[in-house]
């Protein structure tokens, strides 16, 4: 995400100091070329964040405390989270109002979602926090269509949104710009706008 928006890399303070609450994130936030969108850039020290969180007494609510200094500045905070179960991702799931989960319509991707549900059950986190949707969909492939149909039947929280596989989406990495601005009328851009409206509605309803 940092690279897409050509934002400066790194934080103004060490990740460990921020994790412990000794420094806040305000000075590390940068503007982007997209109106009303700022970014907190990635930092190499984030790789060690899991270890820092394990030693914190308030580790489970760390994420909520992290954004307190800017709570009155921003209406919405979106976190680009790695697709793995870790102290960071658990903080996100536990403290976020909504967790958007992109899925490729394959057996492996569906299995990963099932493992996420099992983890939520163990941690007593409600599955209603999750908003899965299908991404990189090729409607010409019967396996994709069958996988989506079976998943939606079994998973009531799945959004009725499909982002198709598209070269236009891939070009975002080369052109460093959101497809919803660069190719407004394209099918992927329309799908992303529907997804955003769904996210806002679900998040506000909590």
What is the average pLDDT score of the chain? 83
Among 1-5, 38-42, 59-63, the range with the most confident prediction by mean pLDDT is: 38-42
pLDDT more than 90, % of the chain: 36
> How many other β-carbons are positioned within 10 Å of the β-carbon of residue 103?
20
User: Could you list the residue range(s) of the whole structural domain that residue 57 is in?
Assistant: 1-96
Q: Based on the domain organization, do 6 and 61 belong to the same domain?
A: yes
Mean pLDDT of 176-192: 88
pLDDT tens-place string over residues 60-86: 667 777 788 888 899 898 888 877 777
Contact 18, 24 (CB under 8 A): yes
Q: Based on the domain organization, do 27 and 71 belong to the same domain?
A: yes
pLDDT tens-place string over residues 115-126: 999 988 998 889
Q: How many domains does the chain have?
A: 2
What is the reported pTM?
Answer: 0.83
The answer, yes or no, to whether residue 174 has pLDDT greater than 90, is: no
pLDDT higher at 134 or 47: 134
**Please, which residues bridge with residue 131 across strands?**
100
Q: Based on the domain organization, do 71 and 135 belong to the same domain?
A: no
CATH of the domain at 185: 3.40.50.300
């Amino acid at each position: 995400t940092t690279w897409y928006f050509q934002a400066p890399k790194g934080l103004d303070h060490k990740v460990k100091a921020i994790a412990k609450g000794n420094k806040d994130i305000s000075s590390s936030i940068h503007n982007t070329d997209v109106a009303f969108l700022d970014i907190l850039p990635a930092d190499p020290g984030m790789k060690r964040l899991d270890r820092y969180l394990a030693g914190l007494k308030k580790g489970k609510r760390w994420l909520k405390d992290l954004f307190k200094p800017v709570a009155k500045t921003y209406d919405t905070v979106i976190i680009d989270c790695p697709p793995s179960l870790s102290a960071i991702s658990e903080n996100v799931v536990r403290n976020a109002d909504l967790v958007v989960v992109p899925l490729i319509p394959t057996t492996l991707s569906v299995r990963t979602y099932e493992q996420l549900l099992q983890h939520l059950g163990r941690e007593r986190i409600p599955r209603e926090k999750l908003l899965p949707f299908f991404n990189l969909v090729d409607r010409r492939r019967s396996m994709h269509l069958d996988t989506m149909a079976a998943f939606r039947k079994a998973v009531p929280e799945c959004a009725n949104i499909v982002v198709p596989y598209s070269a236009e989406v891939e070009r975002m990495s080369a052109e460093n710009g959101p497809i919803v601005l660069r190719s407004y009328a394209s099918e992927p851009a329309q799908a992303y706008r529907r997804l955003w409206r769904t996210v806002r509605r679900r998040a506000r309803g909590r």
